[in-house]
């Protein structure tokens, strides 16, 4: 398998645990009496994830096609279970979790891999070319819209955006012509406008994005605190563990806004190093996709790279104030077992495809 990719993945996992330990230390000590509470849990999930990654890295990826419908339908079923009152757990305004006691699972994370797997299988095996909208592309769009719609009912705009964006990009890689996407873009803009209008908190996020200082203690608070972390961090940062914003200024800094803590403690160069690690993972993934021996492998590898790349771009864009807050985790870095397990499972498939790559 691609040893460079293995090294890059492990580097990101270790980097993530270190930064979670630093970013969460104050919150963890205050809530649980243990400054390493979050990093310990993340380390456990990292071990489980790496074991799962190595298992999939040695599980012939062609066999995954047999389980595509099972994984997809299982993910959809879990998404539906989340919406049942008393079953799904509500966190930060979204009913996106299933849990028993201290253990919890975010099904929408695993729905991503189900959608990706089924679309790659169908796009390879379909008897109708993707250039035929009604018979080739429309059925795949329906498979994509179903989980997207359920995720939006939770509501979770960030995860829904990743699912939809990755699926559409995968169809583009499969050869869908530009003209199909022109109409979808207009429909998408209208749909997102409707979603924003239907939920007042989303409209508040747009307003706070345009001018967070209009409501500095409310909707704009998180964005302002993120910028207060990145600005003083300057070129070299305050040093690892020396963040000021993690002292109850930036809410739950170990989650979606952990990149702000990276910038504050390690400065511009620390943030740049992390982005270079992500870029190197994407680069190795693109090489694997180009060298995959069949269409299914090419689409799976390309889809995994797109999924990781889209999440990184959106998360970092939110943290530095380029786009409104969407609630998307930073792969390998943000605290959360479901997110880390999903990205490591995906990397396991990518590593398995790399074992069969051909020369290009």
Per-residue pLDDT of 111-132, as tens digits, reads 999 999 999 999 888 767 777 8
Q: How confident is the model at residue 210 (pLDDT cuts 50, 70, 90)?
A: confident
CA 27, 32, 35, 40 torsion-angle sign:
negative
Query: With contact defined as beta carbons under 8 Å apart, do 256 and 330 qualify?
Result: yes
Query: With contact defined as beta carbons under 8 Å apart, do 18 and 258 qualify?
Result: no
- pLDDT, mean of residues 192-203: 69
Predicted pLDDT at 100? 62
Q: What is the pLDDT of residues 277-322, one digit of tens each?
A: 999 999 999 999 999 999 999 999 999 999 999 999 999 999 998 8
If you write DSSP's letter for every residue of 75-92 in order, what string do you get? Answer: HHHHHHHHTSTTTEEEET
Distance separating alpha carbons of residues 352 and 342, to the nearest angstrom: 16
Q: How confident is the model at residue 358 (pLDDT cuts 50, 70, 90)?
A: confident
Distance separating alpha carbons of residues 11 and 26, to the nearest angstrom: 25
Q: What is the pLDDT of residues 69-110, one digit of tens each?
A: 999 999 999 999 888 887 877 776 677 888 766 677 888 888
Q: What is the pTM of this model?
A: 0.90
- The residues near 82 (Cβ < 8 Å, ≥ 6 apart) are 88, 95, 96, 97, 98, 107, 108, 154
**Residue 169 CA to chain centroid, in angstroms?**
15
Residue 189 reports pLDDT greater than 90: no
- pLDDT, mean of residues 223-230: 91
Predicted pLDDT at 199? 65
- The residues near 81 (Cβ < 8 Å, ≥ 6 apart) are 87, 88, 98, 107
Query: With contact defined as beta carbons under 8 Å apart, do 46 and 78 qualify?
Result: no
Q: Which of 36-50, 202-216, 307-321, 326-340 has the lowest mean pLDDT?
A: 202-216
């Amino acid at each position: 398998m691609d040893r460079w990719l293995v090294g890059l993945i492990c580097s990101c996992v270790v980097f993530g645990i270190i930064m979670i330990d630093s970013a969460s230390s104050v919150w963890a000590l205050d809530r649980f009496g243990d400054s390493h509470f979050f990093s310990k849990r993340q380390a456990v999930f990292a071990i489980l994830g790496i074991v799962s990654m190595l298992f999939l890295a040695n599980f012939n990826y062609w066999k995954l096609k047999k389980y595509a419908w099972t994984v997809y339908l299982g993910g959809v079923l879990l998404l539906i279970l989340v919406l049942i009152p008393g079953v799904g757990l509500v966190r930060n305004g979204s009913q996106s979790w299933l849990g028993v006691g201290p253990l919890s699972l975010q099904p929408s994370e695993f729905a991503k891999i189900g959608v990706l797997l089924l679309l790659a299988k169908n796009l390879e095996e379909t008897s109708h070319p993707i250039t035929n909208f009604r018979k080739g592309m429309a059925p795949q769009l329906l498979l994509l819209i179903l989980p997207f719609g359920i995720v939006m009912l939770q509501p979770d705009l960030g995860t829904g955006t990743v699912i939809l964006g990755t699926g559409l990009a995968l169809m583009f890689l499969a050869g869908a012509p530009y003209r199909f996407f022109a109409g979808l873009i207009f429909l998408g803009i209208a749909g997102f406008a409707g979603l924003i209008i239907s939920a007042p908190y989303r409209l508040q996020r747009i307003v706070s994005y345009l001018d967070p200082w209009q409501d500095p203690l409310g909707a704009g608070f998180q964005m302002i605190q993120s910028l207060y972390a990145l600005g003083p961090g300057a070129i070299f940062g305050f040093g690892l563990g020396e963040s000021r914003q993690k002292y109850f200024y930036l809410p739950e800094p170990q989650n979606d806004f952990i990149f702000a803590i990276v910038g504050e403690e390690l400065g511009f160069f620390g943030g740049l190093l992390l982005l270079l690690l992500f870029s190197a993972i994407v680069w190795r993934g693109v090489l694997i996709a180009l060298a995959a021996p069949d269409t299914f492998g090419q689409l799976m590898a390309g889809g995994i790279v797109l999924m990781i790349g889209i999440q990184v771009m959106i998360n970092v864009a939110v943290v530095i104030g380029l786009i409104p807050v969407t609630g998307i985790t930073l792969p390998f870095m943000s605290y959360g077992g479901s997110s880390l397990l999903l990205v490591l499972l995906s990397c396991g498939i990518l590593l398995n495809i790399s074992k069969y790559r051909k020369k290009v």
